[in-house]
């Protein structure tokens, strides 16, 4: 009899373990996002001919590589309980700086370096404003958004085409993966950034401090963690990622324009939340944020395959998903308190 009960007991423990993982505020929303991605992809594969393809999945990465990088930076900020509304404007500023400097004959490596330094510096100024003057992140980053967008119009009001051979080569190059599959260099950059972001958050003191600030800044300070420095640096990271995303977007569109990426900051925030990061901070993974980006991209792809739906349906579905995940986070965190 005891031998018969043993397998049942093992099954019960395994079932409880799976339930605990899915109901955890830390891992539950990320797993739900992964399951949602698989279900949407399978639904699209059943409905549309040619949808079930490895290249369709890789095209999601190609089309959204800049947004993945943007969501990585946003994840660091939201994990501390902050927000960054300036990222879309900084992407636009990066593209227009790239276009103007390349037009003036600058070396592309120098152009990319200038962009990354400039956007990181802007992030530093925002972080210092929040830390020293105790300005709310919403207000500080809103000011940075207006500043970056205004600088775009000062540099150039019209769209500037990028025809530098290096940028054109990066836009057209495809890295073969075999079996007829390929990715762009931007995908490689995005995946490297994702790996670095995940490693920093999970295995460094800086990452632990980032989570601690979101979980309770005062508790982190009492533990001797460098909360003030970390709170500033997450905005530097967000600024750097915004600049890098701008460079990738310039590769993608081969242009710089002041109205580029209007509303992209909201897409990045939505991707991070749908990817399982708690808006109040303390819980989340950058891998989840990348999954959130892919879910948004998959919805857009399905609407494109459908052909009869307006692109505004993408916003409707994103809004609905956002509400569902906010409620899910609220339920899971309330169960743990």
Candidates 186, 245, 233; CA nearest to 206 is 233
Rounded to whole angstroms, the Cα distance separating 193 from 70 reads: 10
Name residues whose C-beta falls within 8 Å of residue 304's C-beta, 6 or more positions apart in sequence.
none
* pLDDT reading at 267 higher than 50: yes
The predicted model gives 82-110 an average pLDDT of 97
CA pair distance 33, 292, nearest whole angstrom: 7
Using pLDDT thresholds of 50, 70 and 90, give the confidence band for residue 184. very high
Is residue 26 scored above 80 in pLDDT? no
Under the banding of pLDDT at 50, 70 and 90, the label for residue 143 is very high
DSSP 68-108: HHHHHHHHHHHHTT---S-HHHHHHHHHHHHHHHHHTT--H
82: left (phi over 0), alpha (psi -120 to 50) or beta: beta
- Give the percent of the chain with pLDDT over 70: 93
State residue 304's pLDDT score: 86
pLDDT of amino acid 335:
61
Identify the band that residue 6 occupies on the pLDDT scale cut at 50, 70 and 90.
Answer: low
Q: Look over the chain and give the mean of its residue pLDDT values, rounded to a whole number.
A: 90
* Pairwise CA distance, residues 65 & 277, whole Å: 19
| 1: confidence class by pLDDT, cuts 50, 70, 90 | very low
**Torsions phi, psi of 183, nearest 5?**
-135, 165
Give the ranges where 133-204 is alpha helix by DSSP (H). 137-155, 165-172, 185-203
Enter the tokens of residue 190. 């995005």
Q: What is the DSSP string of 198-246?
A: HHHHHHSHHHHHHHHHHHHHHHHHHTT--HHHHHHHHHHHHHHHHHHHH
- Domains of the chain, start order: 51-336 (1.10.3470)
What is the phi/psi pair of residue 160, to 5°? -115, 125
């Amino acid at each position: 009899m005891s031998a018969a009960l043993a397998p049942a007991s093992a099954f019960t423990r395994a079932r409880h373990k799976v339930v605990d993982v899915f109901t955890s505020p830390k891992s539950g929303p990320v797993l739900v996002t992964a399951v949602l991605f698989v279900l949407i992809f399978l639904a699209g594969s059943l409905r549309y001919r040619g949808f079930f393809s490895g290249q369709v999945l890789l095209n999601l990465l190609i089309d959204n590589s800049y947004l993945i990088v943007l969501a990585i930076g946003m994840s660091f900020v939201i994990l501390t309980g902050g927000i960054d509304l300036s990222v879309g404007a900084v992407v636009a500023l990066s593209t227009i700086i790239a276009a103007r400097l390349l037009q003036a004959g600058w070396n592309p490596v120098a152009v990319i370096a200038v962009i990354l330094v400039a956007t990181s510096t802007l992030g530093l100024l925002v972080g210092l404003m929040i830390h020293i003057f105790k300005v709310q992140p919403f207000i500080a980053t809103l000011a940075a958004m207006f500043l970056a967008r205004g600088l775009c119009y000062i540099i150039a009001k019209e769209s500037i085409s990028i025809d530098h051979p290096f940028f054109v080569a990066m836009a057209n190059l495809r890295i073969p993966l075999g079996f007829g599959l390929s990715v762009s260099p931007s995908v490689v950059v995005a995946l490297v950034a994702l790996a670095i972001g995940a490693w920093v958050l999970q295995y460094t003191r800086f990452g632990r401090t980032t989570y601690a600030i979101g979980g309770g800044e005062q508790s982190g300070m009492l533990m001797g963690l460098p909360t003030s420095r970390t709170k500033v640096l997450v905005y530097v990271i967000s600024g750097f990622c915004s600049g890098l995303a701008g460079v990738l977007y310039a590769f993608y569109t081969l242009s710089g324009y002041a109205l580029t990426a209007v509303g992209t900051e909201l897409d990045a925030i939505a991707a991070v939340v749908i990817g399982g990061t708690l808006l109040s901070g303390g819980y989340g993974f950058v891998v989840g944020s990348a999954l959130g980006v892919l879910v948004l991209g998959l919805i857009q792809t399905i609407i494109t395959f459908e052909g009869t739906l307006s692109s505004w349906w993408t916003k409707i579905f994103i809004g609905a998903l956002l509400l569902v995940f906010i409620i899910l986070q609220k339920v899971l965190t309330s169960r743990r308190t």
